[in-house]
Amino acid sequence: MRVLIVGCSRLGSRLARILANSGHQVTVIDSKAEALERLGPDFPGEMVKGVGIDLGVLEEANISQADVVIATTDKDSTNLVVAEIAHEKYKIPRVVARLYDPEAAEVYRKKGLAIFCPTTAGVEYILSLIGDQSQGGKA
C-alpha cells in the first residue's frame, strides 16, 4: 500500500514508522526539517520538506499514486484542506484527517470524510475505563 502522511507529529511519525516497517511504501511531508528527524536515520520511506497544502509539494510526494492519505498536522484547518484536496482533486480512495475539535469532526464526518478526533476518542476511552457510559463521549 502507498501511504502519504502529511504532518510528522508524534502520531504521524509513529504511524509512518509502523507502516513502513510493515512493508508499505510511506512518504511523509512536513514543513519542518526537525519534525522529519523524528523518523530517524533508518526510516525506509521517503521524506519531503514542504507545506502539505501546497500542490507542488503534494505532487513531489506523488500524491496521485497514493492509496491512502493521512493528515496529522497540529492544525485542524491544514488537515481539512489536505483531506479535501486528496479526496476531491486526486480521488484518493482512503483519506483520514485528525481533528482536535469534536464539533468540526462531526460536521466533516457527515460530509463523508474519515475523521479521527483524539479529543472524542480520549473522552470515550476514559469513560470506558471508569465504567461510565452516561455521556457516550459527548458533552
pLDDT per residue as tens digits for the range 67-112: 999 999 999 999 999 999 999 999 999 999 999 999 999 888 888 8
H or E stretch at 57? helix 55-60
Domain assignment present for 12: yes
pLDDT per residue as tens digits for the range 117-127: 999 999 999 99
pLDDT band at 39 (very low <50, low <70, confident <90, very high): very high
> Containing domain of residue 83, as a range?
2-98
pTM metric for this prediction:
0.90
pLDDT at 138 over 80: no
What is the number of structural domains in the chain? 1
**Which residues, listed in sequence order, are joined to residue 48 by a DSSP beta bridge?**
29
Domain assignment present for 122: no
Closest CA to 64 of 29, 87, 89, 90: 90
